[in-house]
Amino acid sequence: MKLLVINGPNLNMLGKRDADQYGTETLDQISHRMSAKAAELDVNLEFFQSNHEGDIIDFIQANYENVSGILINPGALTHYGISLRDCLSDVKTPFIEIHLSDIHEREEFRRHSLISDLSFEQIKGHRGDGYIMALERLVSHLRKQL
């Protein structure tokens, strides 16, 4: 089984961003932890990060036919990225939405996600651990469907 792991704008800055919201781990450190868990689960991961909505859409369109699912933290695109929402809706690949912070406990403008109604699940507020949780949840969901 192969999954895409996609991180949106500013997530390349993890480790330097607000530690109270996002924790202290870098994106590389989280990705290494995910790779170790993926090896345990016998799953292949392909990682992608971009600060540009169109690049994320290009990446999904180029790869969705070869994968079983997507783990995505769209960053701020969560709240305004209609093209990204359309892309996820068009490809119909099962996905989990991840947020390091608890977006429902923050500013009003972060409370609404444009993709949560499409996602299999939203995992929020667990900092870097949320990525591992999401990986386990998506793999178990997909394996139940085989």
Report in angstroms the alpha-carbon separations of 126 from 22, 47, 49, 89.
9, 20, 20, 26
Instruction: Give the Cα separation of 84 and 54 in Å (integer).
Output: 8
| Active-site residue, selected from the candidate residues 22, 32, 52, 126 | 22
Residues 52-111 interacting with ligand DQA (rule: CB under 6 A): 73, 75-76, 78, 99-101, 103, 110
128 binds ligand DQA per the rule CB under 6 A? no
Spell out, one character per residue from 1 to 40, where the chain touches ligand DQA: x when CB under 6 A holds, - when not: ---------x------------------------------
Q: Is 22 a catalytic residue?
A: yes
Three-state DSSP class for residue 70: strand
Select from 37, 31, 27, 38 the least CA-distant residue to 3.
38
| 99 is an active site residue | yes
Q: Show the tokens assigned to 64.
A: 């969705």
Q: Among 79, 69, 70, 120, which residue's Cα sits nearest to residue 101?
A: 79
Residue of 52, 79, 99, 126 with catalytic role: 99
Residue 102, exposed/middle/buried by CB under 10 A (0-12, 13-18, 19+)? middle
Closest separation in Å from C-beta 144 to ligand DQA? 27
Q: How far is the CB of 13 from ligand DQA (least distance, A)?
A: 9
Between 78 and 119, CB nearer to ligand DQA? 78
Residue ranges binding ligand DQA (CB under 6 A): 10, 73, 75-76, 78, 99-101, 103, 110
Annotated catalytic residues are 22, 99
